[in-house]
């Protein structure tokens, strides 16, 4: 398989950030997300959570493709991913359930360093067509101390309501970030450098 004008990658994600990132590097793709329960399990470690969710997303896309009466020949391999924020105390921070939940999340990041982890998986549309690849990429993000009212103002704007860790590094929360150690696009939702490098190793790109 070669990703080119006549071949499109299947993006198994409804995230607009991931769509924007892939489009920014000129990769043709079609969106085909699967319905996966992303709730955490009691005592589940962040790494275990990521492995489970990404595997479930890939299985969901493969199931959709298998149930189709015919397969579009222009569809190439599959890319799925999931991003989490790991608080300084090791807690997994997913998407906030409410504004109060978002406030608690960001307060835990205030003036401290935390990890953002994205796990992505690449696989052929047919499991028998070739090898698959999975990788977890970690970026260290440090927030400055927030001034009085900044936290409430950010929560009120609603920007982080559908984001892991309740903030968007590419949006207003950029003003909170003192430093980033690692991939910036990983914090947005997809480590582009690592994804493209993996696609090349698999022979999907030339």
Exposure of 161 by Cβ count < 10 A (0-12 exposed, 13-18 middle, 19+ buried)?
Answer: middle
Q: Which of 72, 82, 101, 126 is catalytic?
A: 82
Q: How many Cβ atoms sit within 10 Å of the Cβ of residue 203?
A: 11
The pLDDT assigned to 74 comes to: 72
Please say if 101 is a catalytic residue: no
Q: Is the pLDDT of residue 69 over 60?
A: no
114 and 86 Cβ atoms separated by less than 8 Å: yes
The token duo for 97 is 């359930």
pLDDT grade, residue 177 (50/70/90)? very high
113-123 and 177-181 as β-strands: parallel, antiparallel, unpaired?
A: unpaired
The pLDDT assigned to 6 comes to: 56
Q: Is the pLDDT of residue 5 over 70?
A: no
If you average pLDDT over residues 3-20, what whole number do you get? 85
Residue corresponding to tokens 């950029």: 174
Say which CATH topology domain 8-201 has: Maf protein (3.90.950)
The pLDDT assigned to 54 comes to: 96
The pLDDT assigned to 100 comes to: 95
What is the pTM assigned to this prediction? 0.91
The pLDDT assigned to 66 comes to: 85
């Amino acid at each position: 398989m070669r990703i080119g004008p006549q071949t499109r990658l299947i993006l198994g994600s409804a995230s607009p950030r991931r769509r924007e990132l892939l489009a920014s590097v000129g990769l043709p793709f079609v969106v085909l997300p699967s319905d996966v329960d992303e709730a955490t399990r009691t005592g589940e470690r962040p790494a275990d959570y990521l492995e489970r969710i990404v595997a479930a997303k890939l299985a969901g896309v493969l199931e959709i493709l298998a149930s189709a009466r015919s397969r579009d020949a222009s569809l190439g391999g599959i890319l799925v991913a999931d991003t989490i924020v790991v608080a300084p105390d090791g807690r997994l921070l997913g998407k906030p359930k409410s504004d109060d939940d978002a406030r608690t999340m960001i307060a835990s990041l205030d003036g401290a360093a935390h990890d953002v982890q994205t796990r992505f998986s690449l696989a052929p549309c047919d499991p028998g067509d070739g090898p698959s690849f999975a990788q977890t990429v970690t970026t260290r993000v440090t927030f400055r101390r927030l001034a009085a009212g900044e936290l409430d103002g950010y929560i009120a704007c609603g920007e982080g309501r559908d984001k892991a860790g309740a903030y968007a590094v590419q949006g207003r929360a950029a003003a909170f970030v003192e430093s980033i150690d690692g991939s910036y696009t990983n914090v947005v939702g997809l480590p582009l450098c690592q994804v493209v490098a993996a696609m090349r190793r698999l022979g999907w790109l030339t």
